[in-house]
């Protein structure tokens, strides 16, 4: 099962493997501070797509259509 969790929350023993899927490294967090199994920036939405969505709910359908999920 996959669970989404904010990177700024502390890691828990129950988290299992943690994978960061984001093109940008989170601000204010060192790479040593995150208990990550892997960082996959190429799986995240492109910068252009991320900026076009801009966290606007009305743009989500267009975002979902443009973000290829294989």
- The 10s digit of each residue's pLDDT in 10-65 is 888 898 999 999 999 999 999 888 889 999 999 999 999 989 888 889 998 999 89
The two three-digit tokens of residue 51, written as one number: 């900026």
The model carries a pTM of 0.74
The predicted structure's pLDDT at residue 68? 77
The predicted structure's pLDDT at residue 32? 84
The predicted structure's pLDDT at residue 21? 93
What whole-number distance in Å separates Cα of residue 29 and Cα of residue 49?
24
């Amino acid at each position: 099962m996959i669970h989404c969790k904010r990177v700024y929350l502390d890691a828990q023993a129950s988290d299992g493997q943690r994978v960061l899927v984001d093109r940008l490294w989170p601000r204010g967090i060192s790479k040593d501070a995150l208990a990550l199994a892997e960082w996959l920036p190429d799986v995240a939405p492109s910068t252009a797509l991320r900026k076009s969505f801009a966290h606007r709910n009305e743009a989500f359908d267009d975002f979902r259509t443009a973000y290829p999920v294989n």
